[in-house]
Structure 1
């Protein structure tokens, strides 16, 4: 009898094993289904995680960061996101958002959130203490909670400077060559400005011309941000080598000079404005368009829209800034004992300037108008040499001053170093292989 019961129990155990196995498989499948469903419903289109920001972050005040770096949250935005939706996602009230936007000079920037921005939130006890929004590679907007209000300001991110070299042989046009070599257009513009008086870049450029440039480049977190000023440049045109070195003088002003220290620019700009055409040329006997009789036209009339800025063509002191009969509103600048310039028919004078003020070349002194005897908006421009009016379009302009005798030795030493670097790079024959090379200046 006992043996019979034992056999029955063993048979029952054997028959139950497949059932247990099947139940286990079903349970696992159910768990997997529930877990997958939970994952699907818990997804959000925000990248949202707790973040410990690095101690040397350029975005935030270091003391605040050291105190609260365990409470930072980062949100990576997507198309269609807004601050309102992000605040709701983080459990921040709309009242907080309104407080931030009220009387905020950066409200427009705050309202225009773009995809793939990384917004940083410092939240303590459900109160937003700080918000950081990147504007661009070099600027971030920081919103801080102080005394129940929100204050906004711009922080600049730390940029590092590197030297970069670029060299190329012209194939086609200068600008198509630069585009093909991925050379920043800013550098090409600088180079053409530097050699403006030595090379006619509109007519004299030839295929086979070569140029090499050593320039400053700026980086944020090893990411290229922008190109800076040219430090040294060499351009070979029709077999003639032109070289320029950037030099900063004792006053902090910089310019470009030949390796011998001779200035590459003239002492004066040819014209004071960007104009569409010359509406009346220099003449000793012109039929006046208003008075209808012949008299000398002592300058040139540069046609331009009303309000176009007028720039001083050279350094000097304002001798006249007032209404002057036929000239209308007129400015006269005395540049030295030899040279003077006159600007007539102005709409108005630049605010803050008056007779006796010193102005720099390129400084705005007024705006194009039609005051005085004028038939249309233009700037009447005269250039006087030893008190005699000369044709501003053809007169040979003097060169600017060379490097001062006091600074010449240091200039030449620096020029030798920069030109040696350019030569080494040119000899490395990297035009086709790399085109660019960067060196960390520290």
Structure 2
């Protein structure tokens, strides 16, 4: 407004100067020039009124009139100004977060997917893949994505990648953020809270149903069977009235349960025989299950190398072959199972044969040290990644149930040999795994004593409750 006032003053001065220096011949031209410079009447009145209303200090002294700004408005109390500013900031942040959240998309990794294939689906190219994988060491996690994983991403208006989030696991999330000169990768920790829970049950028909009734999920039931599987054959030895107690971890994030953790202590009573196991973590971080006195619950060999429906044929040196109709010793055990059921190596060892072997069909033979070997026959196919000479770990899948060779149906034929002599896999005495070494004995007892005390409390409380 002040600039308009100065413009009017300048126009008036110019007009006066022209009048003093003009001649009668250009009088008419001057009048036309004034008309072209003349402001609308309303604007002139408004400007005149505003320029006459000067602040008191200007009328009295030499101070220049202030510009018309918000500072000339009545001031609100300081508390109201601060509150209004905070509200404005909060609203701006909420709006920013809302817009950011609204633009994030989610996709699920499919079988056979790679980062390049995923980026292609969302309109990004090989250069974007290279830049993201070059964002830092932690970005290499995107080379190891699996079907079912979820990836969150955001694209800007130009279709370029603005950011990416990938849960590396339940407690760590990878963040990729775009910067001026590329992308930056960082890892965010999402710590899980560990809580302890317990369950106790009595078997009526099967461990699976009893475990479900006690509130255990499939994973915990299978883990329980695995812990005691070297001492109890859960397909043949289970009886009505057998009991179990389990202490296990539950993992939570922000007050919500994420999943179950490991079993840390358990007890199983089978035919009045009591077995107890506790989880001990060594100083180097390795964990395994041991009995109360420090003996490993894990034997050197699995008793059953496959999850089977039934035993279709037992070890029998005088058996009549069901397909050939002649007397032929059956030097192993046949486990009937569905085609494709994983077959696991009974122990640590080295594959010494992998191929077709006459009536056995597809066969794998594993040598375990110098004295023991195991044979697995009639496989539908072999597990990938193995060959003769490959080392395998106990429980590692080496093939899948089938009916190749002379077989009447899908099953695993399993043989166990000691010093080259066939033994009954169901009754052979299995060698023990290594016990707790003496130099770790004190640490072992410190860790497991509270767990054993908890088992005693749980069993005592449950029994007392039942007695009431």
Give the TM-score band, short-chain normalised: 0.5 to 0.7
Residue among 401, 419, 438 paired with 1:405: 438
Aligned residues, how many?
Answer: 343
Residue 293 of structure 1: CA displacement?
2.9
The answer as to whether partners of 2:238 and 2:270 remain within 8 angstroms in 1 is no
Equivalent of 1:72 in 97, 100, 109: 97
Structure 1 segments unaligned to the other structure (5+ residues): 1-48, 54-69, 85-96, 114-118, 433-442
Give the match for residue 100 of structure 1.
122
**Counterpart-to-counterpart distance in 2, 1:366 and 1:176:** 29
Q: Is the 2:337–2:401 contact (alpha carbons within 8 Å) kept by the matching residues of 1?
A: yes
Q: CA deviation at 1:172?
A: 7.4
Residues 235, 278 of structure 1: alpha-carbon distance in 2 compared, 3 angstrom cutoff: closer
Which residue of 2 is the match for residue 366 of structure 1?
399
Residues 86-235 of structure 1: matches in 2 within 5 Å? Answer: 100=122, 129-130=162-163, 158-166=190-198, 168=200, 182=215, 186-197=219-230, 203-204=238-239, 206=241, 211=245, 213-234=246-267
C-alpha distance in 1 between matches for 2:261 and 2:343: 27
CA offset at residue 351 of structure 1?
2.3
How far does the alpha carbon of each residue in 1:255-304 deviate from its partner, in whole angstroms, 9 at most, with x for none?
21112101224322222223334343322233334544322222123333
Distance 2:226 2:285 in 1: 20
Q: 1:272 to 1:254 in 2, by over 3 A?
A: same
Q: 1:417 to 1:326 in 2, by over 3 A?
A: same
Structure 1 residues 316 and 172 mapped into 2: Cα distance closer, same or farther (>3 Å)?
A: closer
- Deviation of 1:167 (Å): 5.3
Whether contact under 8 Å (1:71, 1:122) holds in the other structure is no
Q: Under a length normalisation based on structure 2, what TM-score does the superposition of the two structures give?
A: 0.56
Corresponding position of 2:314 = 281
Indicate if the aligned counterparts of 2:124 and 2:160 stay in contact, CA closer than 8 A: no
| Larger Cα-atom Rg | 2
Residues 187 and 300 (structure 1 numbering): CA distance in 2 closer, same or farther, change over 3 Å?
Answer: closer
The answer to whether the aligner puts 1:321 opposite 2:343 as a matched pair is: no
Q: Indicate conservation of the 8 Å contact 2:349/2:392, yes or no.
A: yes
Per-residue CA deviation, residues 71-105 of structure 1 (Å, 9 max, x unaligned), is 3226899xxxx979xxxxxxxxxxxx997366899
CA distance in 2, matches of 1:199, 1:403: 22
Tell me which of 384, 390, 396 is aligned to 2:417.
Answer: 384
1:400-429 deviation digits (Å, cap 9, x = unpaired): 332233433321222224334555677788
RMSD: 4.9
Higher RCO (CA < 8 A, seq sep 6+): 1
Secondary structure of 1:409's aligned partner? helix
- Give the Cα–Cα distance (whole angstroms) in 1 for the partners of residues 161 and 214 of structure 2: 48
Tell me the alpha carbon deviations over residues 209-251 of structure 1, each in whole angstroms, 9 at most, x when there is no partner. Answer: 573x443322222322112112223456788764321123477
| Matched residue, 2:295 | 262
Cross-structure match for 1:304 = 337
Specify which structure has the higher proportion of helix: 2
Quick one: structure 1 residues 236 and 369, their matched pair in 2 at CA, closer, same or farther if it must change by over 3 Å? closer
The whole-number CA distance in structure 2 between the counterparts of 1:410 and 1:231 is 16
TM-score (norm 1): 0.59
